[in-house]
A and B are shown apart, each in its own frame.
Chain A
Amino acid sequence: MFIAVYIERSLVTPAIRTREVTKRFGSLTAVDRVNLTVEEGEVFGFLGHNGAGKSTMINMLLGFNRPTTGSIEVFGHDTQTNSVKARKRMGVLPEGYSVFSGLTGRQHVNFAMEAKDVDGESLDYLDRVGITEAADRDADGYSKGMAQRLVLAMALVGDPDLLILDEPTSGLDPAGAKAIREIILAENERGATVFFSSHILEQIEAVADRVGIMHQGQLTAVDTIDGLREMAGGETKLLITIDESTEPTPEMVQAADGVATQKGDLKEETTSHLAIINSIELVEKAWVEEEGQYGLTCAKDDKMDILVALHDLGVDVLDFTTEEPSLEDLFVEYTRGSA
């Protein structure tokens, strides 16, 4: 038992581990007793409104700010006493930076390469973020989006084990945001752990393995996106339009009735189609939405199976739409009450 615990500890150093981290600025508690572990190899999305404490948390990870109480380790290095060692394995896109005046894009990347002791061609990094043609221009004159790409290029220098990106898509157009998502996924594929913050749910939903929700300084929830959905009672709603001109055969209705009765559903103004839909075991609840359209709820993964089952039962599905609870709904759910 003790040996097992010991081995587990020595083999698996998490990329990030915070213990009871609190940060106060005067009377304001920006971060309140946060315990967070990010394992190596995952993409962790850090979600919260502006001012929720995300950046304060990231600044403490980087050693820019010191926690009032608690400790933060990055790959086992305490960020208060060993910040440089921790940052050797990081690539960082910080919040509220400015580019260096008088240096070209290429010189910026060279700076990062020298600081990280990395040899190679700086243009390769600028290529990856798509600003090759601006390499020899003064970075002072870059647009916000280009500066964001440049700093991302600096973060990618030396294939870091941990990428920390504070609002990486801010200031970018949709194409730029997509490019960033692709880079995040590619870096993760390479083996990097990615920790990135955003107040935009879609950004996080698209790439994150796990999500942490920060609200008023507290880490309100940490889970996978599906897990969060489930926790918030998120069931998928399926709306199907069927061709009612083909009546189901009486045998089918009868068979379906049997099942429906077993399920205990009382059918008041039921139609034969509703009975058939209800007869599918995966359907949790079904109702008539309007003429020719039915609604049902089910688990997220069962959507296709239900459509297949309907087809097998001879129901002609003309069209269908699904409604899943968005992270926005979840977010509102999680942060309600205390706001």
Chain B
Amino acid sequence: MTRWTTVAQKEIRSFFTGRTPKIGVGLVALVFVFGGYITPTTVENPAAMDVTIADLDRFLRGIVVFLVPLFGLLLGYRAVVGEREGGQLALVLSSPISRADVVLGKTLGRGLILTTTITAGTLGAAALVDYPFGTVALDTLVIFLVTTVLYGVVFLTIGIGLSTLTASMRRATILTFGVFFLLVVAWPGLEGYILDALQYVNLAGDALPDWARFVYGAEPTLLYQRVMDAFVADVNTGAYLGSSAPWYLGGGTAVVLLVAWAALPVLGGYVRFRRADL
């Protein structure tokens, strides 16, 4: 057994000590299942129209882009700083375990919790979509599942990244709240302001230039929406996915960027944490 699996194992055990985490995880899974239960009723004539994962996506999207980031951040933001402040980290690092083992083990342990939760919820939802009225195509289901898990992992690693940056739980909480507000609440509404700003400095005409659209659209929630639009909802219009848009605004690039988001925050946090005084 490697050292980071030792950490991951301990992490999972410790996580489920209290009742709150169990309830939290259960609720998240239930929301997905509930979505699967409701979805057929949102389709006009479910007996004639095949209910699919695309319908589930359409119904759940607005909830997912709020719930999954919150879940990921809550799962991650205490991971390192909580044990650093509480003193468990001193005990972990008294063994020949490196700080990389700690960050990797925690990310994997909590990543596993997140993956299991979303997978259980999605599979439950898919079963309710499939029966009695619909059909679930395996490829769409896999894309829905993998993208949603990846989306959750992005916020999990952002949370863990933030938890490695500071030695104070309070500061980590404030940072996490700030990130949630910026990325989940504020960002989707910023397009107009960015356009105004660019027009003011004569960098934009009537619409955002492609490079600005790329930068603006490289935010996790917008990326998730684009991947789902491209590969689950089969959207092929609009500034990003339309036929005249450049390739780098497409769904494939969005997948790559989302993967980068899943890795970079925690790596950045680790680089700071590696040499920090505990």
Contact = CB atoms under 8 A, between A and B. Distances in A.
B47 interface: no
A299 interface: no
A88 B95 CA distance: 7
Interface stretch (B6-14, B29-37, B216-224): B6-14
Contacts of B14: 100-103
A239 interface: no
Chain A residues touching B, range: 20 to 34
Interface in B93-135: 93-98
A116 B3 CA distance: 9
Interface stretch (A4-12, A58-66, A302-310, A329-337): A58-66
Interface in A66-115: 66, 83-85, 87-88, 90, 92-103, 107, 111-112, 114-115
B166 to A, nearest CB: 16
B236 interface: no
Interface in A149-192: 151, 154-155
Contacts of B10: 100, 103, 107, 111
B277 interface: yes
B75 to A, nearest CB: 16
Contacts of B20: none
B93 A116 contact: no
Contact of A99 (B6, B88, B96): B88
B1 interface: yes
Given A66-B275, A97-B88, A98-B88, A155 B6 contact: no
A66 B275 CA distance: 8
Contact of A103 (B13, B87, B278): B13
A90 B15 CA distance: 28
Contacts, number: 86
- Tell which of B6, B95, B278 has the most Cβ of chain A within 10 Å: B95
Contacts of B18: 101
B88 A111 contact: no
A116 B95 contact: yes
Given A98-B88, A103-B14, A87 B96 contact: yes
Nearest to B3: A115
Nearest to A87: B96
A116 B275 CA distance: 23
B93 A62 contact: yes
Contact of B87 (A65, A83, A97, A107): A97
A94 B90 contact: yes
A105 B248 CA distance: 54
Contacts of A90: 94, 96
B91 interface: yes
Contacts of B86: 98
A64 B91 contact: no
B40 to A, nearest CB: 40
Nearest 9 CB-CB pairs, A to B? A102-B17, A115-B95, A98-B87, A92-B94, A88-B96, A87-B96, A114-B6, A64-B278, A97-B90
Given A102-B15, A115-B97, 17 more contacts: A59-B278, A65-B277, A66-B275, A85-B96, A90-B94, A97-B88, A98-B87, A98-B91, A99-B88, A100-B10, A100-B88, A102-B13, A103-B14, A111-B10, A112-B95, A115-B6, A154-B95
